Amino acid sequence: MILISPAKRLQTELFDSSLNSTKPLFAKEADLIASKLSKLDILGLKSLMKVSDDIAKINVDRYKNWNKPNQQEKRAIFLFEGDVFKNLDAKGMSEEDLNYMNKNLRILSGMYGILKPSDEINPYRLEMGTNFSVNSAGNLYEFWGDKVANCINSDFPSENIFNLASEEYFSVVKKHVDPKKVIEFKFLSTSGGKERVIGVIAKRARGEMARFLIQNRIDNLEDIKNFEGLGFKLRNFEDNTFFFSNS
């Protein structure tokens, strides 16, 4: 299976696709969180999320109007619009690739826990690392950890976990899944004469890798070595981590 993070940037224009909509597994939990957030005003949301007044206002409106019908795109894979999703490019996939992706890729979420690409969701902003308590859980990691991990372990009991999510998001399940099943990816670029992970480039590369895994139906480690997206080539593989470099 493939894990990715959500995106802050969203686009709500409807996209014509054969991918049928589904309901998130933890829709009720998301409704509970949204209900709590709807009680916050602009200043409260700004303080909680460390965002600008404009972004806080947008999200106050979102939570006040949670679950109200509209004619906007709601399927998660088409709603999220960050670098990972642009390079994954689900809109350019064949019907067969979309179906394979829907079975094998999951999106971690601070609001919904875990999502299928086809899950219909409301526009939101809530990062997993936000210091927000829900019921008896002191934060979102505590609230979602067991729920999300149980879902992964139940739906993908014997498969490798190709982790293309950020550390912020993967941390929600890290201690709940078998570490021997987790395959990590590091994308190294040269900056200032030193080779390191550059955030924006790494996000694009994670999207390219997700697309590569989907379109080539990859389920074994050997085939991953053929990845050359964005000029990256395999450097080495150790400690369950693929290191790619574009230098």
The average pLDDT across 93-112 equals 97
For the cut 90, the answer to whether the pLDDT of residue 247 exceeds it is no
For the cut 90, the answer to whether the pLDDT of residue 191 exceeds it is no
The average pLDDT across 176-204 equals 93
For the cut 90, the answer to whether the pLDDT of residue 186 exceeds it is yes
The overall longest dimension of the chain from CA atoms, in Å, is 52
Three-state SS annotation for 182-242: EEEEEEEEEECCEEECCHHHHHHHHHHHHHHHHHCCCCCHHHHCCCCHHHCEEEEEECCEE
The average pLDDT across 104-132 equals 97
The average pLDDT across 7-20 equals 92
Rounded Cα distance, 223 and 102, in Å: 21
The average pLDDT across 50-78 equals 94
